[in-house]
Structure 1
Amino acid sequence: MSSRIDVTVAERSVAWGGWVVGPTFLGPEEFARTGYDYVGFDMQHGYLSDADVALMLRRLEHVPIATVVRLPSTDPAPIGRVLDAGADAVVIAMVETPEQAAQAVAATRYAPAGVRSFGPLRASLGMDAAELEARAGVFVMIETAAALPFVDEICAVPGLTGVYVGPADLAISLGHAVPDMWTTPEVTDAIRCVAAAAKRAGVVAGIHAGAGKTGNMMASWGFQMITLASESQALRRGAAEHLREATGSSGDNGAGAKGYS
């Protein structure tokens, strides 16, 4: 058994994702209905508890969409809880060294390979530790200048599913303004380097694009897991388009997607 993200990438070459930052049942289901491949739940910047995430994951148990949860650190306890609740993968923020990446992997593995505690919360997950390990994908975020010299070593960490670029924090770390992150050569070169390192290591390259056009560009750069929009961005864009149609106005359709992460 492999993680659902790995399977999707193998089948379709690119997995397209939505993002959820607050408690909602409709958002993830609408992403699935629209044809997105995965939905991410944000426990770093979002307003979500692990109980919120567990309820939404349960709601999606029979919905054809993969699920990932972003967490702020390699602390094994919260990582284990969201995996026990049925998340298909975790995305660990602010990883800067191969040692930290190895800690993230260990948090998804049982002894002797890791430090995860056994305790699946859903009967449908089964009780086979090896299968539970195999279905748990683990991504680490490359989003600081300090991580860039170690990208190849991070990508080579055994058991890692992939790396995931946070372009906003990466731009800030490199000394550039967030609105300029897609047009500043130092930032875009760093982003391309991460994708290239992932390809060399044979792991999935992911990124927070924040908009469809940017997502298309990231796919051309070799990224295979691309988050397009959060539920608030999607709602704002749709609401603005309805208002534009109703009033006959033109101009900014309210997309406002900057690709923040």
Structure 2
Amino acid sequence: MASRLQDALADNAQIWGGWVVGPTVLGPEEFAAAGYDYVGFDVQHGYLSDADVALLLRRLEHVPIATVVRLPGVDAAPIGRVLDAGADGVVIAMVESAAQAAAAVAATRYAPGGVRSFGPLRAGLGIEPAALQARASVFAMVETARGLAAIDEICRVEGLTGIYVGPADLAISLGHGPTEAWTRPDVLNAMQHLQRTAAKAGLVTGIHANTGTIGNAMAQKGFQMITLASESQALRRGAAAHLAEATGQSVAPGQQRYC
């Protein structure tokens, strides 16, 4: 049984995502209503636990949007819990080696191929282990100079679905500020190298773009899975536009969220 995320990637050259950093029940549904393909839940930097995410995922069971969860490491327990709750995939932050990428994959697979413990929480997922692990996508988030140097080895890890680029940490790791991710040629070249290497290996290429304009530019560079904005960014932009309309003032640029 394919997941919504797998179906969306199979049907579209690019898929577009929103991001959720807090325990909101409205954000994911609004992203779905706006036509986004997927929503990401942030357990690394957001104000969410894997238990919070499980409740949000259950609410989305009948909402037509795919789901991914970003987790801070390769600990098998939280990875298994969000998959058991119905997440279509996981994004594992700060992957810097093939060994870390392999551990992430193992956390999504049952024995003998992995270390995931059996315990599906949603009846609609069924109970067949092979089907449950087949629908679980796993992305290695590459966002450091070490990860950049190891990208060839990371992309050779069997079972990995894709590479997801984190521009802000990548910029910091290369000696720049997070807001310079989109202006420094060495950072842009690094992102393109990650994309080309992953694509050549037959992997999905994803990136945190932060805005629609940057998202369009990343699509032109070949990225397939592009996160555009968090729910806080979308709320701030919409609120600012409404206030500007009411007061006759221009909309001031909103603060970006860099991930």
After TM superposition, is the score higher than 0.5? yes
Deviation at 1:16, TM superposition (A): 0.2
TM-score, with structure 2 as normaliser: 0.98
Measured on the aligned residues, the alpha-carbon RMSD in Å equals: 1.0
Q: Helix, strand or coil: the match of 2:70?
A: strand
CA distance in 2, matches of 1:9, 1:73: 24
Q: How does 1:98-177 map to 2 (within 5 A)?
A: 98-177=98-177
Deviation at 1:89, TM superposition (A): 0.2
Structure 1: 4+ residue segments shifted above 2 A:
1-7, 254-258
Q: Helix, strand or coil: the match of 1:5?
A: helix
Match of 1:190 in 2: 190
Match of 1:73 in 2: 73
Deviation at 1:42, TM superposition (A): 0.2
Whether contact under 8 Å (1:6, 1:204) holds in the other structure is: no
Match of 2:54 in 1: 54
Q: Helix, strand or coil: the match of 2:226?
A: strand
Deviation at 1:9, TM superposition (A): 1.9
The C-alpha deviation readout for 1:125-178, integer Å capped at 9, x for no partner, is: 110000000110000100000111211221121111101000000000000011
Matched letter for residue 147 of structure 1: G
Match of 2:235 in 1: 235
Deviation at 1:251, TM superposition (A): 4.3
CA distance in 1, matches of 2:234, 2:48: 18
Deviation at 1:257, TM superposition (A): 3.0
Matched letter for residue 29 of structure 1: E
What are the ranges of 5 or more consecutive residues in structure 2 without an aligned counterpart? none
CA distance in 2, matches of 1:4, 1:97: 29
Identity of aligned residues (%): 69
The C-alpha deviation readout for 1:179-212, integer Å capped at 9, x for no partner, is: 1110101100000001101110111000000000
CA distance in 1, matches of 2:53, 2:251: 37
Whether contact under 8 Å (2:241, 2:251) holds in the other structure is: no
Equivalent residue pairs, number: 259
Whether contact under 8 Å (1:143, 1:166) holds in the other structure is: yes
CA distance in 1, matches of 2:60, 2:70: 17
Whether contact under 8 Å (2:209, 2:229) holds in the other structure is: yes
Deviation at 1:5, TM superposition (A): 2.5
Matched letter for residue 102 of structure 2: A
CA distance in 2, matches of 1:47, 1:78: 15
Whether contact under 8 Å (1:18, 1:228) holds in the other structure is: yes
Matched letter for residue 100 of structure 2: Q
Q: Helix, strand or coil: the match of 1:68?
A: strand
Matched letter for residue 112 of structure 2: P
TM-score, with structure 1 as normaliser: 0.97
Match of 2:256 in 1: 257
CA distance in 2, matches of 1:137, 1:161: 6
Matched letter for residue 186 of structure 2: E
Deviation at 1:255, TM superposition (A): 3.7
The C-alpha deviation readout for 1:104-145, integer Å capped at 9, x for no partner, is: 000000000000000001111110000000110000100000
Matched letter for residue 101 of structure 2: A
The C-alpha deviation readout for 1:23-77, integer Å capped at 9, x for no partner, is: 0110000000000000000000001011210110000001110000000000000
